[in-house]
Amino acid sequence: MARDLLFIERNLDFLKPGGRMAVVLPQGRFNNSGDQQMREFIMERCRILAVVGLHPNTFKPHTGTKTSVLFVQKWNDDPAKGPLCQKASDYEIFFATQQVESVDNSGRKVYRRDAIGNFMRDEHGHFIVEQDLFRQDAMGPDGISIPGREGIAEAFEEFAHKENLSFFLNAPSTRVA
């Protein structure tokens, strides 16, 4: 049996009822017909919350393997044992793919640039790595905040609210100040 499959099985054993896990896997695990049993095993033991495809350069220069992040929550019908995640046979799954290259083919970070080509910085003065995983605001030369584009994390947050995911009810961005 493949090591990554044993890894998934063991980590699912470690999860408490209602517990969540994220794991990076080769993209083939999600679409190869030979991995159907693995996918069924996962779905039997937990809800698949999301699958996020990473950019092919994410792990360069070490590997060019296409990867995805699998997010799951272990089934749980008993609120006394942990966050609720009632078993269902049909439910929505969040799918997204990272489109923006944050690392080039050589493994060097790709930094965000302004309209005239200058590197952009965050509020702490650090260069901003180009990415679309989450919203990242920048500071203009005049010190005014420049809003970033919405990312995959914000799209998932919207999905989580729509699906009433139990663990997302008290997320920081949902609290009223």
pLDDT in tens, 37-57: 888 999 999 999 999 999 999
Work out the percent of the chain whose per-residue pLDDT is above 90: 41
Q: What is the DSSP letter of 28?
A: H
Digit-coded pLDDT (tens) for 136-173: 777 666 666 767 778 899 899 899 989 988 777 655 55
Element (H, E) at 71: strand 67-74
DSSP-derived 3-state class of residue 46: strand
Sign of CA dihedral 51, 55, 58, 64: positive
How is residue 28 written in tokens? 């083939």
Q: What is the pTM of this model?
A: 0.84
CA dist., res. 7 & res. 27, Å (int): 16
DSSP-derived 3-state class of residue 155: helix
Mean pLDDT of 11-21: 94
DSSP-derived 3-state class of residue 69: strand
CA dist., res. 4 & res. 24, Å (int): 10
Phi, psi of 126 (to 5 degrees): -85, 145
Amino acid sitting at position 79 = P
| Helix boundaries (H) for 32-174 | 36-45, 152-163
pLDDT, averaged across the chain:
86
